[in-house]
Amino acid sequence: MPITESLCNSRFRASFAEPDQLLNAVKHLRAAGHRVLDTYTPFPVHGMDEAMGLKPSRLPRACLAFAVLGLAIAVGFQVWSSAIDYPLRTGGKPLVAIPAFIPVAFELTVLLAGLGVVASFFVVSHLRPRFHIPDLHPGSSDDRFIVAAELGPDVPFPTVAKEMSSLGATESCLLVDDRFHRESSFWDRPAGVGTLLVACLPSFLLVGSVLLLNRDFQQRNLSWDGGMGAPIAAQAYDSSGVLKGGKVLQPPPPGTLSRSASPALAFLAGKAEAERAGRELPNPFQPTQAHFNRGKVVYERVCATCHGREGDNNGSVIVARGAFAPTLLVSPVVRDMPDGRIFHIATFGGPTKMQGYGDLLSREDRWKVILYVRELQKAAARPIPAGGQP
Ligand code: HEC
């Protein structure tokens, strides 16, 4: 492609050591009719945009546009989802509850504005990834203040160079347009889509491995850790192919002591066992006031429902409902029962209908309630005084 000498030799650069010198040079160049292309400084130089005659950035407009877009998406989606697609009234509030939408609307507005303005900047300035960026001057990103400009019509470069050095330029030279005169190497090309894909390869591999590992962990020996992450727990009553007795639950070793310190009851249910308990089990609790009080609580909460508060079936719910009547606790039958037998009944239940309370009441409570039943029996056996009050 034919390039005219004037085109490739009309651009030049000058570098300075101080920002003020650069500012002066830029003002001078513009006043002399040259076209300032750009300046390169290690930090923003105040007043440079005015000196260069730059128009205010158009980015705020892009920012506003993206902010409005974000706001519209946020409000629109929330209104659509909570008032149109799935109208569910919560706490009597209106479906379009603006205050509830504010956080999401704010976040999305800020997000789109921020990302959008950066993206617009890249697009407008034609910025895209490159492997090699032609260097204007080795100090352009370090400690030099550089101006690139185009010679005005009919001004020879040496004249400008002299002016520049009088303004403090450390050096100045004509620019040879890289694009036309240097043999472009592979690395000078802008990075293409292929490069982008190669750069993203590690992330693709990572995501792919997650998909690969995300298998059914309930299936043994298929997962990457051999199922250690999700062991299949055996339940207490499952049968087992490896444990003694073919069962998961194992009996405690011989000589094991109960943590509650009370040995297991060596009795089964049934009338014969109840009689044996009557012979073999004494009440371990003395009839003290404290034990009696506890027994009263247990009796009134549990036994009284069926046996009546006085043990005489008076107020019994099952009697009131017209069902059968429980044994009178104050009757001679129960009065003559030894404590151990009543304990057995409180634990395993009565001979016919009554259910046992062994799993609901503690062993102590089952003994103590008997102390209270005994007092009820004594009270019932007492003759009623003349006044009618016991
Ligand atoms: C749900 C109702 C109900 C409750 C609660 C209940 N019982 Fe009974 N109880 C009965 C009935 C019904 C009978 C008679 C039928 C039977 O013996 O199964 C009975 C019988 C008895 C007998 C006589 C058993 C015999 O051999 O004749 C005793 C003693 C006894 N209960 C004590 C208690 C004690 C102590 C409690 C409180 C821990 C209690 N019961 C709670 C319904 C109940």
Q: Does the structure show a pLDDT above 50 at 44?
A: yes
Write phi, then psi, for 134 (nearest 5 degrees): -55, 135
Q: Which two tokens stand for residue 241?
A: 């192919």
Cα 359 to ligand 1 centroid, rounded to whole Å: 15
Q: Which two tokens stand for residue 236?
A: 């207490």
**pLDDT given for residue 384 in this prediction:** 66
Per-residue model confidence as pLDDT tens digits over 357-381: 988 899 999 999 999 999 999 998 8
Q: Which two tokens stand for residue 307?
A: 């046996």
Q: Does the structure show a pLDDT above 60 at 140?
A: yes
Per-residue model confidence as pLDDT tens digits over 194-205: 888 999 999 999
**pLDDT given for residue 184 in this prediction:** 63
To the nearest whole number, what is the mean pLDDT of the chain? 86
Q: Does the structure show a pLDDT above 70 at 298?
A: yes
Q: What value does the mean pLDDT take over residues 215-220?
A: 59
Q: What value does the mean pLDDT take over residues 88-109?
A: 91
CB 267 within 8 A of CB 344: yes
Is the CB–ligand 1 distance for residue 354 below 6 Å? Answer: yes
pLDDT interval class at 1 (50, 70, 90): very low
Is the CB–ligand 1 distance for residue 343 below 6 Å? Answer: no
Which atom of ligand 1 is nearest the CA belonging to 337? 29
Q: Does the structure show a pLDDT above 60 at 217?
A: no
Is the CB–ligand 1 distance for residue 351 below 6 Å? Answer: yes
Residue in 354, 359, 375 to alter for ligand 1 test, most ligand atoms within 8 A of Cβ: 354
Measured in residues, the chain has a length of 390
**pLDDT given for residue 215 in this prediction:** 63
Considering 169-173, 242-246, 295-299, the range whose residues carry the highest mean pLDDT is 295-299
Q: Does the structure show a pLDDT above 60 at 181?
A: no
pLDDT interval class at 387 (50, 70, 90): low
Among 162, 167, 158, which Cα is nearest to 26's?
A: 167
Which atom of ligand 1 is nearest the CA belonging to 333? 27
